[in-house]
Amino acid sequence: MDDLECPSGFNEPERKAWQFAVQAHGEQRRKYNQEPYVRHLERVAHTVMAYGGTTGMVMAALLHDVLEDTPVTEAELRTFLEEACQNTIVKPAEVLQLVLDLTDQFTKEQAPGYNRKRRKEMERQRIAQTSPRAQTIKLADIIDNTRDIIQHDISFAKVYIPEIVATLEVLRQAEPFKLYLLACYEVQTAVFKLEEDRRARTSPQEQDVPGPEELSNRPAG
């Protein structure tokens, strides 16, 4: 395991959450640049912090993938949070609920028989019902993932970005609203990059072919 140091700026409960995440994710790395997975969690947490997130929200941001991507169980996470939040104003049950809200409930394993499109729609409907705080953390996660995917995997971006465009529609309760606007900006930037890539792969002749509407609007004669 890498010799990692906790970034400055985290308070004591947040540092404990960071350490727990490091241990839980172990040798996991980000797919494209092979950086330790915790770097993604740090960026999400720092975004939440920068937009006024509470200590509990920052802790949940650091822990948002432990139930989905590591062997950690809900019971183990609850025990950790009860210990980490002792003598603080942070309520461990609220942090745990945020992590549960941010954990995909419709994976291939949990929803067999459904294709990806249907699973993502079910997940979108579920997250629409989550708290504004959970939606805020979700936006921070979307921002970091979108930047990463559009830069490193344009092929997967063609699948991922349309899904995220749809997901943004149900995250309007997130606070502050300017974080929602930032997420929209990042996703729209990715949409433009996809269009640029499509045009780059299309021959000039194909680009200049008029569509049916253009042909129907041409004057006769």
10 Å CB burial of residue 77 (0-12, 13-18, 19+) is: buried
Q: How far apart are CA 10 and CA 6, in angstroms?
A: 8
Q: How far apart are CA 73 and CA 166, in angstroms?
A: 30
Task: Give me the percent of the chain exceeding a pLDDT of 70.
Answer: 90
Is 197 a residue of the active site? no
Residue among 133, 132, 131, 143 at smallest CA distance from 182? 143
Average pLDDT estimate for 81-92: 98
Residue that has been written with the tokens 């809900």 in this structure = 74
Q: What is the pLDDT of residues 14-62, one digit of tens each?
A: 999 999 999 999 999 998 888 999 999 999 999 999 999 999 999 999 9
Q: In this structure, are residues 37 and 5 in contact, taking their beta carbons and an 8 Å threshold?
A: no
Q: How far apart are CA 61 and CA 58, in angstroms?
A: 5
Q: In this structure, are residues 119 and 111 in contact, taking their beta carbons and an 8 Å threshold?
A: yes
Residue 202, pLDDT score: 83
> For the chain, what is the mean pLDDT?
92
Higher pLDDT, 164 or 210: 164
Higher pLDDT, 209 or 81: 81
What are 122's two structure tokens?
Answer: 């079910």
- Find the catalytic residue in 2, 35, 68, 195: 68
Which residues, 6 or more positions from 127, have their beta carbon under 8 angstroms from its beta carbon?
A: 101, 134, 135, 138, 167, 170, 171
Is 65 a residue of the active site? no
